[in-house]
């Protein structure tokens, strides 16, 4: 797959104008994205300052919104597809039923086909093409086994019960309950015992 093109603010502003944003807002965004000083600090030492006029600032509240506007024209072309955008990530989700397998269309970006995967991790949940949940439950079980080890170590160190409860809720229960409504109801009995 070809490497991504750099984000050039001037081109982005042209796109925003075409979307109907007023000129003063476009100029404000251009000013925000260009001429940003950047340096590196290691301990008490600082690098020389470099001025950046490409890309968008990482960790900035505005950057995910700008990405959404930049990818505004990336839209699903088939009713069984859904495009999910979050921050700087785009996921195309499609449902292919048994009768439609012969009509699977290849998705291309800049002339290169996008790989169709048999499994993926999406928002922390392992999704598998046959809709089984064994991979997801095994992953959760492995994470929690590691964390239970630390809980036992904390208990042996005679930490007070409120601290142990806090550790359990934040490090173990949060993993067990994450997206549970999406996957637990369809687990096999074996998965539930994992």
Q: Are strands 45-46 and 41-42 parallel, antiparallel or unpaired?
A: antiparallel
CB 135 within 8 A of CB 126: yes
147 and 177, same domain (yes or no):
yes
Average pLDDT over residues 156-169: 96
Q: Which residue has the higher pLDDT, 100 or 93?
A: 93
Are residues 183 and 169 part of one domain?
yes
Q: Tell me which of 85, 116, 147 is where a domain ends.
A: 116
For the CA atoms of 82, 174, 63, 73, the dihedral, rounded to the nearest 10 degrees, stands at: 0
60 and 82 part of one domain: no
Between 46 and 118, the more confident residue is 46
Instruction: Indicate if 160 and 111 belong to the same structural domain.
Output: no
Average of per-residue pLDDT values in the chain: 84
Contact 49, 38 (CB under 8 A): yes
In a domain, residue 110? The reply is yes
- Taking residues 152-176, what's their average pLDDT? 95
pLDDT in the model for residue 90 = 79
CB 56 within 8 A of CB 64: no
Distance CA 100, CA 175 (A): 36
Taking a C-beta distance cutoff of 8 angstroms, is the pair 15, 64 a contact?
no
pTM over 0.75: no
pLDDT recorded at residue 161 = 95
Q: Exposed, middle or buried, 175 (CB in 10 Å: 0-12/13-18/19+)?
A: middle
One domain for residues 53 and 17: yes
Tell me whether residue 1 is in a domain.
no
Write down the pLDDT at residue 150: 96
If you average pLDDT over residues 144-154, what whole number do you get? 95
Confidence of residue 157 (pLDDT cuts 50, 70, 90): very high
- Residue-range definition of the domain harbouring residue 86: 75-116
Split into its structural domains, the chain has a count of 3
């Amino acid at each position: 797959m070809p490497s991504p093109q750099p984000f050039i603010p001037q081109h982005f502003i042209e796109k925003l104008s075409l979307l109907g944003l007023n000129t003063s807002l476009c100029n404000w965004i251009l000013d925000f994205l260009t001429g940003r000083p950047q340096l590196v600090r290691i301990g008490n030492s600082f690098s020389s300052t470099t001025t950046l006029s490409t890309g968008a600032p990482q960790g900035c509240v505005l950057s995910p919104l700008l990405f959404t506007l930049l990818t505004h024209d990336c839209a699903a072309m088939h009713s069984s597809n859904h495009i999910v955008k979050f921050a700087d990530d785009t996921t195309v989700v499609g449902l292919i039923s048994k009768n439609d397998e012969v009509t699977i269309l290849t998705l291309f970006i800049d002339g290169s086909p996008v790989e169709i995967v048999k499994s993926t991790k999406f928002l922390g949940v392992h999704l598998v093409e046959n809709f089984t949940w064994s991979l997801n439950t095994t992953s959760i079980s492995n994470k929690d086994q590691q964390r239970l080890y630390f809980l036992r170590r904390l208990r042996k160190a005679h930490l007070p019960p409120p601290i142990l409860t806090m550790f359990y809720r934040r490090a173990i229960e949060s993993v067990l309950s994450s997206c549970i409504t999406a996957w637990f109801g369809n687990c096999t009995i074996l998965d539930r015992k994992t």
